[in-house]
């Protein structure tokens, strides 16, 4: 059982790396909103009523948009007792086909990880875990090439950063810890363009100078983009001025309405886990 493995020494090599080559892939893990979505946690915003039916429609449109741009979507087993389970990105971090199952900072979210672990293992990923008492949310990890920026937030602690570093640095990752105090997760404040330029809404970013290339955007939700491939960017419809800015810079912007999820501090990034490298 999973709980038995978690009692083992975290220093042990639990899942040896495969010698098979890693190749590009376009698979995305998603998880359908549960009936308790409206009870999801909020930290940095005032609670608003959430229309669960409307949220399901928005989620289905989001998933269809991924598919329309060449992504194979894989539905993780529902976790209907967990209101925030639709925000699947928080449960796992993947780097070069190695999956690190997180230990969410909010205790109520920890049951969400079991289904995600099953999904990534089924795709052939090597699996590691964040060990208690450390905490780490996947939304605090921004990958830019081989650099992993990790937010030290209210959900991710110093021990979580250290454990992530221990797993991924031997694989060639450069791990950079950054402070996060103005938003829920690092990726609530910043994401990156295909060329590595980091986008951020200045009032929500603790230390813009920590990023070598930084582009200020006019709307908070405009700081959150998903790379669909090439110069195509997926972003929320709530940031039209940022969409105009990025289009003017030569990107192809695809927008989706995720307003019900934004009421719960959700974004386009946290509704999926994009797997860009898997074993052949």
Q: Which of 240, 110, 266, 96 is nearest to 185 (CA)?
A: 266
In the residue annotation, 125 being an active-site residue is answered as: no
User: How far apart are alpha carbons 242 and 237 in whole angstroms?
Assistant: 10
Q: What is the spatial distance between Cα 180 and Cα 108, in angstroms, rounded to a whole number?
A: 21
- Catalytic residue among 82, 125, 201, 270, which? 270
Strand spans (E) along 35-77: 72-75
Which one of 185, 201, 231, 251 is the catalytic residue? 185
Nearest Cα to Cα of residue 181 among 205, 148, 161: 205
**Among 97, 122, 73, CA closest to 23:** 97
Specify the DSSP class assigned to residue 2: H
Phi/psi at 145 (nearest 5 deg)? 65, -125
- Residues 41, 84: contact at Cβ < 8 Å? yes
270 labelled catalytic: yes
Q: How far apart are CA 124 and CA 25, in angstroms?
A: 12
Cβ-contact 127, 102 below 8 angstroms = no
Which active-site residues does the annotation give? Answer: 185, 270
């Amino acid at each position: 059982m999973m709980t038995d493995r978690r009692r083992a020494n975290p220093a042990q090599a639990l899942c040896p790396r495969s010698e098979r080559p890693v190749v590009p892939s376009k698979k995305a893990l998603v998880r359908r909103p549960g009936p308790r979505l409206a009870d999801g946690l909020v930290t940095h915003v005032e609670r608003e009523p959430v229309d669960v039916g409307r949220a399901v429609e928005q989620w289905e449109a989001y998933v269809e948009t991924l598919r329309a741009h060449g992504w194979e979507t894989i539905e993780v087993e529902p976790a209907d007792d967990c209101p925030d389970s639709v925000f699947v990105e928080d449960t796992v971090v993947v780097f070069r086909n190695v999956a690190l199952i997180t230990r969410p900072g909010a205790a109520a979210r920890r049951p969400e990880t079991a289904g995600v672990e099953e999904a990534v293992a089924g795709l052939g990923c090597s699996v590691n875990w964040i060990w208690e008492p450390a905490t780490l949310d996947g939304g605090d990890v921004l990958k830019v090439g081989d650099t992993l920026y990790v937010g030290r937030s209210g959900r991710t602690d110093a021990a979580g950063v250290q454990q992530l570093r221990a797993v991924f640095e031997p694989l060639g990752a450069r791990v950079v810890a950054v402070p996060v105090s103005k938003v829920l997760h690092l990726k609530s404040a910043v994401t990156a363009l295909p060329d590595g330029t980091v986008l951020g809404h200045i009032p929500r970013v603790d230390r813009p100078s920590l990023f070598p290339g930084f582009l200020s955007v006019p709307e908070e939700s405009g700081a959150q983009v998903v790379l669909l491939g090439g110069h195509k960017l997926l972003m929320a419809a709530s940031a039209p001025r940022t969409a105009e800015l990025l289009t003017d810079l030569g990107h192809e912007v695809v927008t989706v309405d995720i307003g019900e999820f934004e009421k719960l501090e959700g974004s386009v990034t946290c509704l999926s886990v994009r797997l860009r490298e898997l074993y052949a």
